[in-house]
Amino acid sequence: MTAPHPAADPLAALRWYVEQGIDETIDDVPTDWFTRPETARPAPAPVPAAVAAPPVARSTAPPSTPAAPARAPVPIETPQLALDAGEIARRCTSIAELEEAVRAFDGCALKRTAKHTVFADGVAGAPLMVVGEAPGADEDRIGKPFVGVSGQLLDRMLAAIGRSRTENAYITNILFWRPPGNRTPTPAEQAICLAFTRRHIELAQPKVVLLAGGVAAKALLDTTDGIIRMRGKWTELALGDGRTVPALPTFHPAYLLRTPASKRQVWADLLALDKRLGELAG
């Protein structure tokens, strides 16, 4: 479909942009990155100060500054970026260091359009770690995961089994930046963030991981199986340090909002989760 000309019909042009997922204004004029090879790939992956310096206190508060500088170069997706991310993540020895490393990392193009880096919320080191897909508009605005309507449903789901992000659950996503227009993240974007997310799970050392939705489950379990096939089945999530952690895929709260009839299955998953956590605690 051809875009309506902005001068001829500005409202139709704006509507067309939003329908195409263009919901952020970055610059006044387009930049042809293909003609600027010197800026196409970021300089060598930044090594966060925290990796070399003593750990700093972990802050769950959203950063007061935007996630990306206004004119940061757009990284071209290459497998090397995921390797860089993996190398940086491996060198982090605490969640505080990892958070600082993620905030300093400029190798994921999503960061350029995001308002905030959305790292995690809740009690780091809690027995239950929930991993979702990606920040949405509310999470991007506030800087914390699962704070919109699906997050409110997630909170109610956790409360039903005596869990909460203020006491005994830790919440994150496989992506730290909102994909523009909530589009599905590309495999390269996922691979880059996953390097950090796997290390995040290693450092948080949960007893159990709840995988919220097909995107998180497929990415972390490295499978092409769909969520309908996977949900409710316990599996072992392999970590980079050779350990594994029990993981339970379930439907994403956003899916439940669209398909309330599936809440019955998720209730069964929550009961199984509660039972397993009880066994592992005892």
Name the residues that contact ligand URA, by CB under 6 A: 132-136, 139, 145-146, 148, 150-151, 173, 254
Strands 235-238, 169-173: pairing is unpaired
End-to-end CA separation in angstroms for the chain: 60
Q: What is the C-alpha separation between 235 and 256, in angstroms, rounded?
A: 22
Residue 132: CB minimum distance to ligand URA, A: 3
Residue 246: CB minimum distance to ligand URA, A: 21
Tokens matching residue 139 = 């999470």
**Residue 74 vs 134, nearer CB to ligand URA:** 134
Closest-CB residue for ligand URA? 132
**Residue 105 vs 146, nearer CB to ligand URA:** 146
Please name the residues in contact with 148: beta carbons below 8 A apart, sequence gap of 6 or more: 136, 137, 138, 139
Of 235, 236, 172, 243, give the one whose Cα is nearest residue 205: 243
Residue 141: CB minimum distance to ligand URA, A: 12
**Residue 137 vs 271, nearer CB to ligand URA:** 137
Residue 25: CB minimum distance to ligand URA, A: 23
**Residue 74 vs 144, nearer CB to ligand URA:** 144
**Residue 42 vs 62, nearer CB to ligand URA:** 62
**Residue 206 vs 214, nearer CB to ligand URA:** 214
Tokens matching residue 90 = 């491996």
Residue 209: CB minimum distance to ligand URA, A: 14
Please name the residues in contact with 196: beta carbons below 8 A apart, sequence gap of 6 or more: 85, 88, 89, 98, 101, 102, 105, 176
Query: What burial letters (b/e) apply to 174-200, b meaning 16+ CB within 10 Å?
Result: bbbbbbbebeebeebbbbbbbbbbbbb
**Residue 134 vs 270, nearer CB to ligand URA:** 134
Of 230, 194, 224, 196, give the one whose Cα is nearest residue 211: 230
Note whether 126 and 170 are within 8 A (CB): yes
Question: Radius of gyration of the chain from Cα atoms?
Answer: 19
Q: What is the C-alpha separation between 174 and 166, in angstroms, rounded?
A: 21
Residue 106: CB minimum distance to ligand URA, A: 22
**Residue 10 vs 187, nearer CB to ligand URA:** 187
Residue 260: CB minimum distance to ligand URA, A: 17
Residue 75: CB minimum distance to ligand URA, A: 23
